[in-house]
Chains A and B, each alone.
Chain A
Amino acid sequence: GENVEQHPSTLSVQEGDSAVIKCTYSDSASNYFPWYKQELGKRPQLIIDIRSNVGEKKDQRIAVTLNKTAKHFSLHITETQPEDSAVYFCAASRGGGGTASKLTFGTGTRLQVTL
């Protein structure tokens, strides 16, 4: 089955700096890669996603890149703010065919943005 590795497990940055979280996946058939943000005691919330026919996607301060050949995808947060502090999860699934909801998650990255 799919295996998703995520690094680093913890990340501390100063406000205004950039943060990068990296994930690798094992299943070459995976074609949907979402990122979720989970604040303490809250539900995971989708912040950005990318499909395998796209190499990069950006939404304001957040961007995701995908390298299908290397089976890598990364989350980039620029101009970090204290409210970005949370646990971030990457995930992968085979979209379509009724398997898209079967996400395999990475182990999470705890991001702390300090003043």
Chain B
Amino acid sequence: KAGVTQTPRYLIKTRGQQVTLSCSPISGHRSVSWYQQTPGQGLQFLFEYFSETQRNKGNFPGRFSGRQFSNSRSEMNVSTLELGDSALYLCASSLNGLTGELFFGEGSRLTVL
């Protein structure tokens, strides 16, 4: 069974630009969560999608948004990039998001210059 796949793995953007990251969950998993990992703040929850609906949201500004498609694939978007958005963005999939067992992808490393 293929694991969680995230694309792109690495990207460099400049301040003010926007970025879209993609996540394909494990086959059969319907819940997709996004986390931001930085050396200073650690792993922080961004949001979770289930059946194309945002079910939970963390404490991030509205510049961070996401969506989920009918095949459970998910995208997250960050608009008006700031230097502090440089981070590893991790996607995690779960069967239904009810048991807490998350399977993470390798992440997308975003550098904002």
Residues of A within 8 A of B (CB): 1, 32, 34, 36, 42-46, 49, 89, 91, 93, 95-108
A49: contacting residue among B42, B50, B92, B100, CB under 8 A? B100
With a cutoff of 8 Å between Cβ atoms, the chain B residues found around residue A100 in the complex are: 94, 97-100
Residues of B within 8 A of A (CB): 4, 31, 33, 35, 42-45, 48, 50, 55-56, 58-59, 90, 92, 94, 97-107
Cα distance, A1 to B59, chains bound together (Å): 10
CB distance from B81 to the nearest CB of A (A): 23
Instruction: Sample 19 A-B pairs with CB under 8 A, ordered by A number.
Output: A32-B100, A34-B101, A43-B107, A45-B104, A49-B101, A91-B43, A93-B100, A95-B99, A98-B55, A98-B97, A100-B99, A101-B31, A101-B92, A102-B56, A103-B45, A103-B100, A105-B43, A106-B42, A107-B42
Q: Beyond the given A34-B101, A43-B105, could you list 10 further A-B residue pairs with CB under 8 A, ordered by the A residue number?
A: A1-B59, A43-B107, A46-B101, A98-B97, A98-B98, A101-B92, A101-B102, A102-B56, A105-B43, A108-B42
Cα distance, A47 to B83, chains bound together (Å): 33
Cα distance, A36 to B90, chains bound together (Å): 13
Q: Is the CB of A46 within 8 A of B102?
A: yes
A98: contacting residue among B35, B50, B105, CB under 8 A? B50
Q: Is the CB of A102 within 8 A of B48?
A: yes
Cα distance, A100 to B43, chains bound together (Å): 16
Give the total number of A-B pairs whose CB atoms are below 8 A apart: 71
With a cutoff of 8 Å between Cβ atoms, the chain B residues found around residue A45 in the complex are: 104
CB distance from A108 to the nearest CB of B (A): 6
Closest to A34 in B: B100
Cα distance, A107 to B33, chains bound together (Å): 19
Cα distance, A32 to B103, chains bound together (Å): 15
Closest to A94 in B: B100
